[in-house]
Structure formats: C-alpha cells, structure tokens
Amino acid sequence: MARFNKLQVLETMLSSGVIPVFYHSDVNVTKNVVKACYEGGIRVFEFTNRGEFAQEIFGELSKFVARECKEMILGIGSVVDAPVAAGYIQMGANFIVGPLFNPDIAKIANRRLVPYVPGCGSVSEVGFAQEAGCDLCKIFPGDVLGAAFVKAIKAPMPWSMLMITGGVKPEEANLKAWFDAGADCVGIGSNLFPKEIIAAGEWGKITVLCKNTLEIINKLIKQK
C-alpha cells in the first residue's frame, strides 16, 4: 500500500521539479543510488519496470525506502499493463508512470487514489489522459517531440501539468529550455546516473549531481 497520498505525491513532484528514473538488476546498487539521491535532496524516485524479476527488486527497495529514506516517495515506471500496475501498488508504489496511456491502468490507479502519469505524444493523448483522471501527463519521448511541442500544448490547454522524460539533462541550458516551454517537472534517467559512476560505486558524485540539479530547477521554477 502507498505510504503517501495522491496530493502529497503530486505536490512533491511539482515542487521539486525533478524525478530521477533508474533501473538496475542488482538491488544493492539500486539501494545505494536511492540513498545517494535522498542525501542530495531528492524526495521522489521512479524505479523502472525493466528486466527480469524487477518486481522482486522493487519489493526489497520499497521496504528499504520505508526504513532508511522515510520521506522518499517511491514509484514505478515503464508500466504498460493494468495487472502489473496493480501488483506494484500492492508492493508500495506511490505512483505509476508509463511510456503510453492505458485507460485500464487509470481505472486501477484512480480506485486506489494513486497518481498515474501516462506517456503522451500528442495533444489528443494528453486530452484523453486528462479525461481519465490523470492530473500529470508525461511528454515522451521528450528528445523527439522537443520543447516547442510542450509550448504548443500549453497554449490552448494552459491547465495541463506536464512532466518531460527523454533527452533531459542535468544542465542549466537544457533544463531552462524545458521549463521555459512550460514543463512542470522533468524525469531524468541515464544523464543523472553515468555508467562509469555506477560501475565505480561513486555514490557521492550522484549526491552532488542531484543537489546541483535541484538548485538549477528551483531557480527556474521561481523565475516562472
């Protein structure tokens, strides 16, 4: 069962402006990454449903976060099927993210008052997702659609809350382009977790990256 309610999750996503997106088959590596992000000020984290036995890793991670990172809001990403979403909610997922919009997932998430952030690649998809009760929509893939697409959605649909994932970098110029276009928050994956840093176990460097990213985004949010 989710430890945080829907309003708490959405408010934290929007106020922090960044959601790290990560997967690793080694649960100990994943725990260290989450802890490093937490120490860097991150309070929302998306573990992705990729690879075999991802559910088992998430189950262990969920227990770890509840014990060691009490303010961290842990969610699951890369979910495309309703039964999978239901299983992760039972294991403590506080939010569900997907690369596409599946109305059956929205029904399950709404029933349990868990935020569902579906991937949308068109204005119509954003509209359909909003009709299904999705407060926050994920614009994906961001690097393909571009900042101009985000700006174009916000013009006729200014009430839309959008999270950009794909092509987002923890750099001021890149982040500024997204937030200036109207992004409400961003998801950052591999660019926040360089392979060489993960392989070397240099968790302190991830903490620094998270701190710097939060500082940049906080400044950008205040300027909006």
pLDDT at 147: 97
Total domains, the chain: 1
Q: Is 76 helix (H, G, I), strand (E, B) or coil?
A: strand
Peptide bond into 158 cis (omega under 30): no
Q: What is the pLDDT of residue 216?
A: 98
In a domain, 103, yes or no: yes
Q: What are the mean pLDDT values of the chain's consecutive 10-residue runs (224 residues total)?
A: 95 98 98 98 98 95 98 98 98 98 98 98 98 98 97 97 97 97 97 97 98 97 84
Is residue 1 included in any domain, yes or no? no
Which residue range(s) make up the domain with 176? Answer: 6-223
pLDDT at residue 116, rounded to an integer: 98
pLDDT of residue 2: 87
pLDDT, residue 222, reads 87
**Residue 137 lies inside a defined structural domain of this protein:** yes
Nearest by Cα to 192 from 208, 179, 180, 173: 208
pLDDT of residue 59: 97
Distance of CA 79 to the CA centre of its chain: 12
**pLDDT value for 196:** 97
CATH number reported for the structural domain that contains residue 171 in this entry: 3.20.20.70
- Cα-based torsion angle of the residue sequence 177, 96, 213, 70 in order, rounded to the nearest 10 degrees: 160
* Domain contains 58: yes
